[in-house]
Structure 1
Protein backbone atom coordinates (compact mmCIF):
# COMPACT_ATOMS: atom_id res chain seq x y z
CA UNK A 1 0.00 0.00 0.00
CA UNK A 2 1.35 3.40 -0.92
CA UNK A 3 1.84 6.07 1.74
CA UNK A 4 -0.80 8.29 0.11
CA UNK A 5 -3.44 5.57 0.39
CA UNK A 6 -2.47 4.89 3.98
CA UNK A 7 -2.72 8.59 4.90
CA UNK A 8 -6.05 8.99 3.12
CA UNK A 9 -7.61 6.04 4.93
CA UNK A 10 -6.07 7.20 8.21
CA UNK A 11 -7.59 10.70 7.83
CA UNK A 12 -10.93 9.22 6.76
CA UNK A 13 -10.96 6.73 9.63
CA UNK A 14 -10.04 9.38 12.20
CA UNK A 15 -12.71 11.74 10.83
CA UNK A 16 -15.45 9.09 10.86
CA UNK A 17 -14.55 7.64 14.26
CA UNK A 18 -14.20 11.07 15.88
CA UNK A 19 -17.49 12.26 14.37
CA UNK A 20 -19.30 9.17 15.65
CA UNK A 21 -17.83 9.64 19.11
CA UNK A 22 -18.63 13.36 18.97
CA UNK A 23 -22.36 12.86 18.53
CA UNK A 24 -22.59 10.27 21.31
CA UNK A 25 -20.40 11.83 24.00
CA UNK A 26 -22.00 13.63 26.93
CA UNK A 27 -19.00 15.59 28.19
CA UNK A 28 -18.92 18.97 26.45
CA UNK A 29 -15.17 19.48 26.90
CA UNK A 30 -14.40 16.15 25.28
CA UNK A 31 -16.91 16.88 22.51
CA UNK A 32 -15.09 20.13 21.71
CA UNK A 33 -11.79 18.26 21.55
CA UNK A 34 -13.32 15.66 19.22
CA UNK A 35 -14.66 18.47 17.02
CA UNK A 36 -11.09 19.76 16.87
CA UNK A 37 -9.90 16.31 15.68
CA UNK A 38 -12.73 16.03 13.11
CA UNK A 39 -11.95 19.45 11.64
CA UNK A 40 -8.23 18.66 11.32
CA UNK A 41 -8.96 15.28 9.72
CA UNK A 42 -11.32 16.94 7.24
CA UNK A 43 -8.59 19.45 6.38
CA UNK A 44 -6.33 16.49 5.61
CA UNK A 45 -8.99 15.01 3.35
CA UNK A 46 -9.36 18.35 1.56
CA UNK A 47 -5.65 18.19 0.79
CA UNK A 48 -6.16 14.83 -0.88
CA UNK A 49 -8.95 16.36 -2.97
CA UNK A 50 -6.42 18.99 -4.19
CA UNK A 51 -8.42 21.68 -2.39
CA UNK A 52 -5.46 23.19 -0.57
CA UNK A 53 -7.08 26.57 -0.07
CA UNK A 54 -10.16 25.01 1.53
CA UNK A 55 -7.92 22.94 3.81
CA UNK A 56 -6.06 26.04 4.95
CA UNK A 57 -9.33 27.93 5.35
CA UNK A 58 -10.75 25.03 7.37
CA UNK A 59 -7.85 25.23 9.79
CA UNK A 60 -7.71 29.03 10.00
CA UNK A 61 -11.43 29.81 10.25
CA UNK A 62 -13.00 26.81 11.92
CA UNK A 63 -10.16 25.45 14.05
CA UNK A 64 -8.40 28.74 14.67
CA UNK A 65 -11.46 30.92 15.03
CA UNK A 66 -14.78 29.30 15.69
CA UNK A 67 -13.57 26.32 17.73
CA UNK A 68 -11.29 28.41 19.93
CA UNK A 69 -14.19 30.79 20.60
CA UNK A 70 -16.39 27.83 21.52
CA UNK A 71 -13.72 26.60 23.92
CA UNK A 72 -13.49 30.04 25.56
CA UNK A 73 -17.27 30.24 25.83
CA UNK A 74 -17.32 26.80 27.44
CA UNK A 75 -14.58 27.70 29.90
CA UNK A 76 -16.24 30.96 30.93
CA UNK A 77 -19.85 29.83 30.97
CA UNK A 78 -21.92 29.16 34.04
CA UNK A 79 -23.01 25.79 35.41
CA UNK A 80 -26.69 26.17 34.42
CA UNK A 81 -25.76 26.49 30.75
CA UNK A 82 -23.55 23.42 30.97
CA UNK A 83 -26.34 21.43 32.64
CA UNK A 84 -28.72 22.41 29.83
CA UNK A 85 -26.21 21.40 27.15
CA UNK A 86 -25.48 18.03 28.73
CA UNK A 87 -29.06 16.97 29.46
CA UNK A 88 -29.76 14.35 26.82
CA UNK A 89 -32.11 11.45 26.44
CA UNK A 90 -30.92 8.03 27.58
CA UNK A 91 -32.43 6.27 24.57
CA UNK A 92 -30.35 5.54 21.49
CA UNK A 93 -32.99 6.66 19.00
CA UNK A 94 -35.24 9.51 20.06
CA UNK A 95 -37.16 11.96 17.89
CA UNK A 96 -34.20 14.17 16.81
CA UNK A 97 -31.93 11.14 16.38
CA UNK A 98 -34.25 9.26 14.01
CA UNK A 99 -34.52 12.36 11.83
CA UNK A 100 -30.74 12.54 11.70
CA UNK A 101 -30.61 8.83 10.88
CA UNK A 102 -32.98 9.36 7.93
CA UNK A 103 -30.76 12.18 6.62
CA UNK A 104 -27.61 10.09 7.03
CA UNK A 105 -29.13 7.17 5.15
CA UNK A 106 -30.34 9.51 2.37
CA UNK A 107 -26.92 11.11 1.96
CA UNK A 108 -25.15 7.75 2.12
CA UNK A 109 -27.40 6.28 -0.56
CA UNK A 110 -26.85 9.39 -2.72
CA UNK A 111 -23.06 9.03 -2.35
CA UNK A 112 -23.15 5.30 -3.12
CA UNK A 113 -25.38 5.90 -6.16
CA UNK A 114 -23.06 8.68 -7.39
CA UNK A 115 -19.98 6.52 -6.92
CA UNK A 116 -21.50 3.55 -8.73
CA UNK A 117 -22.80 5.62 -11.64
CA UNK A 118 -19.60 7.69 -11.97
CA UNK A 119 -17.35 4.64 -11.83
CA UNK A 120 -19.17 3.19 -14.85
CA UNK A 121 -19.37 6.38 -16.92
CA UNK A 122 -17.76 9.79 -16.39
CA UNK A 123 -20.29 12.66 -16.07
CA UNK A 124 -20.75 14.89 -19.10
CA UNK A 125 -19.41 18.06 -17.45
CA UNK A 126 -16.17 16.33 -16.41
CA UNK A 127 -15.69 14.86 -19.89
CA UNK A 128 -16.25 18.29 -21.49
CA UNK A 129 -13.77 19.97 -19.12
CA UNK A 130 -11.20 17.28 -19.80
CA UNK A 131 -11.71 17.63 -23.58
CA UNK A 132 -11.29 21.43 -23.42
CA UNK A 133 -8.21 21.10 -21.21
CA UNK A 134 -9.76 23.04 -18.34
CA UNK A 135 -9.01 20.46 -15.66
CA UNK A 136 -7.30 21.68 -12.48
CA UNK A 137 -3.90 20.10 -12.19
CA UNK A 138 -1.91 19.62 -8.98
CA UNK A 139 0.79 21.90 -10.38
CA UNK A 140 -1.60 24.84 -10.95
CA UNK A 141 -1.24 27.87 -8.68
CA UNK A 142 -4.77 27.81 -7.30
CA UNK A 143 -4.19 30.01 -4.24
CA UNK A 144 -3.06 33.02 -6.29
CA UNK A 145 -6.11 32.74 -8.56
CA UNK A 146 -8.40 32.34 -5.56
CA UNK A 147 -6.87 35.42 -3.92
CA UNK A 148 -7.64 37.52 -6.99
CA UNK A 149 -11.18 36.10 -7.17
CA UNK A 150 -11.82 36.80 -3.48
CA UNK A 151 -10.81 40.43 -3.76
CA UNK A 152 -12.67 41.10 -7.01
CA UNK A 153 -15.50 38.78 -8.02
CA UNK A 154 -16.29 37.19 -4.64
CA UNK A 155 -15.78 40.14 -2.30
CA UNK A 156 -19.40 39.99 -1.02
CA UNK A 157 -19.29 36.32 0.11
CA UNK A 158 -15.85 36.99 1.62
CA UNK A 159 -17.33 39.81 3.69
CA UNK A 160 -20.29 37.64 4.68
CA UNK A 161 -17.82 35.11 6.12
CA UNK A 162 -16.15 37.89 8.11
CA UNK A 163 -19.56 38.93 9.49
CA UNK A 164 -20.16 35.27 10.43
CA UNK A 165 -16.90 35.25 12.39
CA UNK A 166 -17.86 38.50 14.11
CA UNK A 167 -21.26 37.02 15.08
CA UNK A 168 -19.45 34.00 16.51
CA UNK A 169 -17.24 36.27 18.60
CA UNK A 170 -20.28 38.21 19.87
CA UNK A 171 -22.06 34.94 20.69
CA UNK A 172 -19.04 33.63 22.59
CA UNK A 173 -18.83 36.90 24.53
CA UNK A 174 -22.57 36.71 25.30
CA UNK A 175 -22.29 33.13 26.54
CA UNK A 176 -19.31 33.93 28.70
CA UNK A 177 -20.68 37.03 30.42
CA UNK A 178 -21.71 36.82 34.05
CA UNK A 179 -25.31 37.44 34.99
CA UNK A 180 -25.87 40.25 37.46
CA UNK A 181 -27.63 39.37 40.72
CA UNK A 182 -30.76 41.51 41.10
Structure 2
Protein backbone atom coordinates (compact mmCIF):
# COMPACT_ATOMS: atom_id res chain seq x y z
CA UNK A 1 0.00 0.00 0.00
CA UNK A 2 1.51 3.32 -1.05
CA UNK A 3 1.15 6.78 0.46
CA UNK A 4 -1.63 7.88 -1.91
CA UNK A 5 -3.82 4.96 -0.91
CA UNK A 6 -3.24 5.65 2.78
CA UNK A 7 -4.23 9.31 2.36
CA UNK A 8 -7.30 8.30 0.32
CA UNK A 9 -8.43 5.87 3.02
CA UNK A 10 -7.87 8.50 5.70
CA UNK A 11 -10.05 10.97 3.76
CA UNK A 12 -12.72 8.28 3.25
CA UNK A 13 -12.71 7.37 6.94
CA UNK A 14 -12.99 11.04 7.93
CA UNK A 15 -15.91 11.50 5.51
CA UNK A 16 -17.80 8.50 6.87
CA UNK A 17 -17.15 9.17 10.54
CA UNK A 18 -17.89 12.91 10.41
CA UNK A 19 -21.06 12.33 8.36
CA UNK A 20 -22.24 9.82 10.95
CA UNK A 21 -21.47 12.28 13.74
CA UNK A 22 -23.41 15.03 11.92
CA UNK A 23 -26.50 12.86 11.99
CA UNK A 24 -26.09 11.62 15.55
CA UNK A 25 -24.97 14.88 17.21
CA UNK A 26 -27.63 16.81 19.11
CA UNK A 27 -25.63 20.03 19.25
CA UNK A 28 -26.30 22.21 16.20
CA UNK A 29 -22.96 24.02 16.34
CA UNK A 30 -21.04 20.74 16.41
CA UNK A 31 -23.16 19.38 13.57
CA UNK A 32 -22.38 22.39 11.38
CA UNK A 33 -18.66 22.10 12.15
CA UNK A 34 -18.67 18.36 11.43
CA UNK A 35 -20.57 19.02 8.20
CA UNK A 36 -17.75 21.39 7.22
CA UNK A 37 -15.24 18.59 7.88
CA UNK A 38 -17.36 16.16 5.86
CA UNK A 39 -17.58 18.46 2.84
CA UNK A 40 -13.90 19.38 2.97
CA UNK A 41 -12.85 15.72 3.21
CA UNK A 42 -15.17 14.85 0.36
CA UNK A 43 -13.29 17.37 -1.79
CA UNK A 44 -10.10 15.50 -0.87
CA UNK A 45 -11.66 12.23 -2.01
CA UNK A 46 -12.62 13.86 -5.31
CA UNK A 47 -9.02 15.00 -5.81
CA UNK A 48 -7.80 11.43 -5.43
CA UNK A 49 -10.48 10.27 -7.88
CA UNK A 50 -8.96 12.67 -10.48
CA UNK A 51 -12.15 14.78 -10.45
CA UNK A 52 -10.44 18.09 -9.86
CA UNK A 53 -13.33 20.17 -11.17
CA UNK A 54 -15.78 18.44 -8.83
CA UNK A 55 -13.36 18.95 -5.92
CA UNK A 56 -13.05 22.64 -6.70
CA UNK A 57 -16.82 22.96 -7.06
CA UNK A 58 -17.24 21.14 -3.75
CA UNK A 59 -14.99 23.65 -2.02
CA UNK A 60 -16.39 26.79 -3.63
CA UNK A 61 -20.10 26.01 -3.66
CA UNK A 62 -20.70 23.69 -0.74
CA UNK A 63 -17.99 24.60 1.74
CA UNK A 64 -17.90 28.25 0.78
CA UNK A 65 -21.56 28.89 0.04
CA UNK A 66 -23.96 26.39 1.55
CA UNK A 67 -22.11 26.13 4.83
CA UNK A 68 -22.05 29.91 5.23
CA UNK A 69 -25.80 29.96 4.60
CA UNK A 70 -26.28 27.27 7.24
CA UNK A 71 -24.28 29.33 9.74
CA UNK A 72 -26.40 32.39 8.95
CA UNK A 73 -29.57 30.33 9.36
CA UNK A 74 -28.27 29.14 12.71
CA UNK A 75 -27.49 32.67 13.82
CA UNK A 76 -30.88 33.97 12.71
CA UNK A 77 -32.85 31.06 14.13
CA UNK A 78 -35.29 31.16 16.98
CA UNK A 79 -33.72 32.56 20.15
CA UNK A 80 -35.80 30.21 22.35
CA UNK A 81 -34.27 27.14 20.71
CA UNK A 82 -30.75 28.47 21.22
CA UNK A 83 -31.34 29.45 24.85
CA UNK A 84 -32.93 26.18 25.95
CA UNK A 85 -31.54 23.24 23.93
CA UNK A 86 -32.40 20.69 26.66
CA UNK A 87 -36.11 21.08 25.92
CA UNK A 88 -35.55 19.64 22.43
CA UNK A 89 -33.87 16.41 23.55
CA UNK A 90 -35.86 13.38 22.50
CA UNK A 91 -35.13 9.71 22.17
CA UNK A 92 -33.59 8.63 18.86
CA UNK A 93 -35.75 5.53 18.55
CA UNK A 94 -39.24 6.19 19.77
CA UNK A 95 -42.82 5.85 18.72
CA UNK A 96 -42.88 9.37 17.31
CA UNK A 97 -39.99 8.48 14.94
CA UNK A 98 -41.57 5.23 13.72
CA UNK A 99 -42.97 6.60 10.41
CA UNK A 100 -39.61 8.14 9.47
CA UNK A 101 -37.77 4.94 10.34
CA UNK A 102 -40.21 2.86 8.28
CA UNK A 103 -39.91 5.16 5.27
CA UNK A 104 -36.09 5.07 5.55
CA UNK A 105 -36.09 1.26 5.61
CA UNK A 106 -38.55 1.18 2.70
CA UNK A 107 -36.28 3.39 0.58
CA UNK A 108 -33.27 1.32 1.61
CA UNK A 109 -35.09 -1.87 0.55
CA UNK A 110 -36.07 -0.34 -2.80
CA UNK A 111 -32.46 0.76 -3.33
CA UNK A 112 -31.15 -2.75 -2.59
CA UNK A 113 -33.79 -4.27 -4.89
CA UNK A 114 -32.84 -1.92 -7.75
CA UNK A 115 -29.16 -2.68 -7.28
CA UNK A 116 -29.85 -6.42 -7.31
CA UNK A 117 -31.82 -6.11 -10.58
CA UNK A 118 -29.23 -3.94 -12.32
CA UNK A 119 -26.86 -5.76 -14.61
CA UNK A 120 -23.92 -3.43 -14.33
CA UNK A 121 -21.81 -5.18 -16.95
CA UNK A 122 -24.58 -4.79 -19.54
CA UNK A 123 -25.09 -1.03 -19.26
CA UNK A 124 -24.34 0.75 -22.54
CA UNK A 125 -22.54 3.69 -21.00
CA UNK A 126 -20.18 1.39 -19.13
CA UNK A 127 -19.45 -0.72 -22.20
CA UNK A 128 -18.84 2.43 -24.25
CA UNK A 129 -16.29 3.76 -21.78
CA UNK A 130 -13.96 0.77 -21.94
CA UNK A 131 -11.04 2.71 -23.46
CA UNK A 132 -11.62 6.00 -21.67
CA UNK A 133 -9.18 6.44 -18.85
CA UNK A 134 -7.91 9.55 -17.12
CA UNK A 135 -4.26 10.13 -16.53
CA UNK A 136 -2.97 12.19 -13.65
CA UNK A 137 -1.64 14.77 -16.10
CA UNK A 138 -5.02 15.30 -17.86
CA UNK A 139 -6.52 18.77 -17.52
CA UNK A 140 -10.24 18.13 -17.05
CA UNK A 141 -11.06 21.66 -15.85
CA UNK A 142 -9.90 23.10 -19.17
CA UNK A 143 -12.11 20.71 -21.15
CA UNK A 144 -15.12 21.29 -18.90
CA UNK A 145 -14.68 25.07 -19.14
CA UNK A 146 -14.56 25.00 -22.94
CA UNK A 147 -17.61 22.72 -23.10
CA UNK A 148 -19.58 24.90 -20.66
CA UNK A 149 -18.84 28.10 -22.55
CA UNK A 150 -19.54 26.69 -26.03
CA UNK A 151 -21.90 23.72 -26.21
CA UNK A 152 -23.75 24.23 -22.90
CA UNK A 153 -23.76 28.04 -22.67
CA UNK A 154 -27.57 28.44 -22.81
CA UNK A 155 -28.35 25.85 -20.09
CA UNK A 156 -25.55 27.34 -17.97
CA UNK A 157 -27.13 30.81 -18.20
CA UNK A 158 -30.64 29.46 -17.54
CA UNK A 159 -29.41 27.77 -14.37
CA UNK A 160 -27.78 31.01 -13.25
CA UNK A 161 -31.07 32.87 -13.75
CA UNK A 162 -32.94 30.22 -11.75
CA UNK A 163 -30.41 30.53 -8.93
CA UNK A 164 -30.82 34.32 -8.99
CA UNK A 165 -34.61 33.91 -8.77
CA UNK A 166 -34.22 31.53 -5.83
CA UNK A 167 -31.93 34.03 -4.08
CA UNK A 168 -34.40 36.88 -4.58
CA UNK A 169 -37.26 34.67 -3.35
CA UNK A 170 -35.32 33.61 -0.27
CA UNK A 171 -34.47 37.23 0.51
CA UNK A 172 -38.14 38.18 0.14
CA UNK A 173 -39.28 35.38 2.43
CA UNK A 174 -36.65 36.19 5.05
CA UNK A 175 -37.53 39.87 5.12
CA UNK A 176 -39.36 40.97 8.23
CA UNK A 177 -42.68 42.65 7.65
CA UNK A 178 -42.96 46.09 9.16
CA UNK A 179 -46.00 46.61 11.31
CA UNK A 180 -47.71 50.00 10.92
Q: TM-score, normalised by structure 1?
A: 0.72
User: What are the residue-to-residue correspondences of 1:81-100 with 2, within 5 Å?
Assistant: 87=88, 89-92=90-93, 94=97, 95-100=99-104
Deviates more, 1:60-69 or 1:161-170: 161-170
Specify the alignment match of 1:150 in structure 2.
Answer: 148
Between 1 and 2, higher relative CO (CA 8 Å, sep ≥ 6) is seen in 1
Q: Which runs of 5+ in 1 are unaligned?
A: none
Tell me, in whole angstroms, the C-alpha distance in 2 between the residues paired with 1:109 and 1:7. Answer: 33
The structure number with the bigger radius of gyration is: 2
Tell me, in whole angstroms, the C-alpha distance in 2 between the residues paired with 1:87 and 1:172. Answer: 28
Tell me, in whole angstroms, the C-alpha distance in 2 between the residues paired with 1:4 and 1:109. Answer: 35
In structure 2, relative to structure 1, the CA distance for the partners of 1:157 and 1:64 (3 Å cut) is farther
In structure 2, relative to structure 1, the CA distance for the partners of 1:101 and 1:16 (3 Å cut) is farther
Contact 1:70 1:172 in 2 (8 A): no
- Write out per-residue CA displacement over residues 41-69 of structure 1, whole angstroms, 9 at most, x where no aligned residue: 11111112211100100100011011112
Secondary structure of 1:145's counterpart equals helix
Secondary structure of 2:133's counterpart equals coil
- Write out per-residue CA displacement over residues 82-110 of structure 1, whole angstroms, 9 at most, x where no aligned residue: 579x9464132622234234434654676
User: What are the residue-to-residue correspondences of 1:64-103 with 2, within 5 Å?
Assistant: 64-80=64-80, 87=88, 89-92=90-93, 94=97, 95-103=99-107
- Number of aligned positions between the proteins: 174
Q: Which runs of 5+ in 2 are unaligned?
A: none
In structure 2, relative to structure 1, the CA distance for the partners of 1:21 and 1:113 (3 Å cut) is farther
Specify the alignment match of 2:136 in structure 1.
Answer: 138
